Structure 1
């Protein structure tokens, strides 16, 4: 890279120009697999750096300037910038592995920050060809014959490789379980060495183990493997802490340690009065809080693994990474990313047919195909929904307590109009793991849309409070809650906070809210956006609204608001 202190003004100008050309080349490439938000993210950090303002690039500035977050944005509680940065880094890597292999400028965003680094690609000189042993003219016929032999040899090599791969595939033990994060919960320290603190430490550890174990996608360990025992892989994460008691109060400190480098990924402390009933309740709530922070979707373990580079990753890690990619997709529900995640999950369940979570996530992808592909014909839609139901049922058959398979089956039943069965399954599943905010929000949404707005909206609110900034659903769901409660001003305020600005259903809800509020100008803009960007949704409004809302009176009220926004409803 040209260093500003050593380059001439002309060299610096040329380099900056080359970097901007490279940025445009990447952004316009079909091999740059990134969302619109990630395009804006990339442009922002590159232009700020080239303008000499790289020191100002922080998670807060990106959230406010690029993602439209408010001034109250807190990067500690909302991981959206870290998550999007991980997506962007992988999109850049994929680009340089495909159409960008010969590009003269390399742009990277090193981990640990968001400031890009620019450098000229080092070019390797081609070795000089050796002189031929015999110098004679070769006929055109001989050239064609030689190429034919080379082609035949290449085909033979490929066929042998395919045969070997197929033999390996069918002889490999396909019942092997894929990678799951292993978490060791250690005994809590007792610095004072008192019997009371020792008892509290034992009880707290047991409570945390119990709560963490409800998250079936991690393996919880209460003790490490004995020295020399290589049959049990070592844990990658350790939960540790300490207990300090005074005559009237308790102080608990908890932290999550990355075993690879002993870095502390998360830490928190809890205190309160040392009264028996109050402490028992506090201990249970502390354990729930710890488990939610560490193990829930988009939690600390997810963030750590989502940004982890694994060289020459084995199949089991690739399968686990595939499940992580599903949750990355779910942040914005991007249609282009959905197809690649679907293919990844289909390969995973073929490779690991006993992987219940992958079956559940695959079912959820099929459900998204069903509810977001507005142009699908009835026969195709019915087949897609049946695939979703079959995949969810397979996941539950493998592991009846698997929360992702249960979530998928609940949704499949709901869209199949078996709403009572869906809600019954949702209630049972919530009892299995009341700390999984991904499920809490999904079950709350089903309750609300089925007509139980009070209880459903309360659950969505709870999920958002426990896991803010995780998905595009929270704010849109809460906008619907306010809309059906008659508070259109609050509904508009929730929509203004939503990150899902490019999704047609966001614009549909906004059209209804603005139409019902009598804001004709803004409602008309939403109508125009929908007609231009999602004509199939506009043509089938009654069908799409009825697909989601459970009560006929809610369907008619929503359609009436869309009419006020200027949309035509065909019966």
Structure 2
């Protein structure tokens, strides 16, 4: 039989399994060698190419749908400012048959390829998507999405599936940046640029270790000395100073001033950058400029809903400023959609339940807040355990708290008030700490 011999995609069901494997029917390594004689070097920045999704239906009746998904993906993915997106949807079927797309991507330094296909049975459509890392010529992610199709929900399906794929691949803790971060920490980089610092920043936000902080800080100092006009680097450095102030590190007064000075400088250098805008939101929070904070936070949420880390940070601070329902809802969605996220998000969730006197749920959230070196985690557990009258467990947390912050009992109200903007909740936390045995 010769049927199917010219198809560009092969769908195989492995023996003993049910999940289809989608492969391209050509020798890609041969294509690579034809690009040039010199050894290829990928761009240090993340680049993603979107190939046209393929219609696998027998009569080819769903090509409009596959084109729609590809276009929707290109629109949504472009909103992730950390990823450079190349849209190859304009290529014709003839170009695809000539297997030019991956070669074109390769020439542009693109490391990651997103491709997919669609099939239909009755009123059900199944959309396949996969991500290939060209640096190792290996599929690193694949998923299928089944939806019931009717004339009323075509656009809804295209948009929902595209958003889900985009979040999994391109959020700050998505597959692409995670892979790049792993690669970064497995190598020695002599040249520190803004993007490498950004990877370090995402790593620090998750792990919150002193080593990660020092590594990031030293990188940012070097970058801002070499390139003082890098708005993103200046903004990230501003954030580190803000964290030092909020956690009452030495020279906190200087850190407070540097947060304000550098955040405003970053805003002048890169006014349209989401990272820079989020840092300004943080600055307004620290400086307790409530009206400015709420206005800019809501503006950022409306414009940049795709950014997991930055949306999560906004939700965290909105919660602490009293917008508990909005903040908790956003945090829940982010934590459900992302395997990796900053564990300090659970601090806001702990306080959400604590202020409702739901101490059992608060304690469950507090035990998810496991960041070594940050006194807030044992402090919150101490307050909850105090309310639950679990003295033995509370004493262990108190010991840990005092090891991390020996002067906590003297500064308790001040330290809590830096983050928690509701005085009634500050007093509620102090009550729990006293019940646990702390002498404030």
Query: TM-score, structure 1 length as denominator?
Result: 0.63
Q: State how far apart, in whole Å, the 2-side matches of 1:213 and 1:419 are.
A: 31
Identify which of 202, 216, 228 aligns with 2:81.
216
Change (3 A) 1:260 1:469: closer
Q: Where does residue 197 of structure 1 map in the other structure?
A: 62
Provide the residue aligned with 2:354 in structure 1: 483
In the TM superposition, 1:259-298 aligns within 5 A as: 259-298=134-173
CA drift of 1:411 comes to 1.1
**For 1:113-144, what per-residue CA distance to the aligned partner results, in whole angstroms no more than 9, with x for missing partners?**
xxxxxxxxxxxxxxxxxxxxxxxxxxxxxxxx
- Structure 2 residue aligned with 1:5: none
Contact 1:457 1:481 in 2 (8 A): yes
Within the candidate set 245, 262, 265, 1:370 is matched to 245
Task: Quote the offset at 1:501 in angstroms.
Answer: 4.8
The residue that corresponds to 2:331 in the other structure is 460
Counterpart of 1:419 in structure 2 is 290
In the alignment, the residues of structure 2 paired with residue 196 and residue 486 of structure 1 have an alpha-carbon distance, to the nearest angstrom, of: 57
Partner of 1:341: 216
Written as runs of structure 1 = structure 2, the 5 A alignment for 1:43-192 is: 179-192=44-57
What do residues 483-519 of structure 1 show as CA deviations (whole Å, max 9, x unaligned)? 1111111111122233325421101111111112222
Does the 8 Å CA contact 1:250/1:271 hold for their aligned counterparts?
yes
Of residues 522-531 and 432-441 in structure 1, the stretch that sits farther from structure 2 once superposed is 522-531
1:207 and 2:78 equivalent?
Answer: no
* Conservation of the 8 A alpha-carbon contact between 2:367 and 2:381: no
Residue aligning to 1:537: 408
Match of 2:116 in 1: 241
1:504 aligns with one of 349, 361, 375: 375
Q: Which residue of 1 aligns with 2:23?
A: none
Which stretch shows the higher mean deviation, 331-340 or 444-453?
331-340
Alignment partner for residue 566 of structure 1, among 434, 437, 440? 437
What is the aligned length?
387
- Cα displacement string for residues 179-220 of structure 1 (whole angstroms, at most 9, x for unaligned residues): 421111111112337564211122111111111111111111
Instruction: Output the CA distance in 2 between the equivalents of 1:327 and 1:445.
Output: 16
Judged with a 3 Å threshold, the aligned counterparts in structure 2 of structure 1 residues 449 and 192 are, in CA distance, closer, same or farther, namely same
TM-score where L is the length of structure 2: 0.80
More moved, 502-511 vs 462-471 = 462-471
- In the alignment, is the contact (CA less than 8 A) between 1:511 and 1:562 conserved in 2? yes
- The structure-2 alpha-carbon separation of the partners of 1:352 and 1:287, relative to structure 1 and needing over 3 Å to count, comes to farther
- Compute the displacement of 1:311 (Å): 7.1
> How far apart are the structure 2 equivalents of 1:375 and 1:239?
44
- Change beyond 3 A, Cα 1:245–1:438: same
Which is higher, the Rg of structure 1 or of structure 2?
Answer: 1
User: Which runs of no fewer than 5 residues in structure 1 stay unpaired?
Assistant: 1-177
1:307 is aligned, of 182, 189, 193, to 182
Aligned partner of 1:519 in structure 2 is: 390
1:498–1:350 Cα change, 3 Å: same
Aligned residue number for residue 277 of structure 2 = 406
- C-alpha deviation, 1:236, in angstroms: 1.0
Instruction: Quickly say closer, same or farther: Cα 1:257–1:542, change in 2 above 3 A.
Output: same
- State how far apart, in whole Å, the 2-side matches of 1:365 and 1:229 are: 40
- Residue 313 of structure 1 deviates from its aligned partner by 5.4
Write the distance in 2 (CA, Å) between the matches of 1:351 and 1:270: 47
SS of 1:387's equivalent in the other structure is helix
Q: CA RMSD in A?
A: 2.7
- Closer, same or farther: CA 528–261 of 1 in aligned 2, 3 Å: closer
2:326 partner SS: helix
Q: Deviations over 1:303-337 (max 9, x none)?
A: 21122268785747x54222212222222212343
Within 2, Cα distance between the matches of 1:213 and 1:412?
A: 27
Q: Secondary structure at the match of 2:415?
A: helix
Shifted more, 496-505 versus 464-473: the winner is 496-505
TM-fit CA distance, 1:250:
1.4
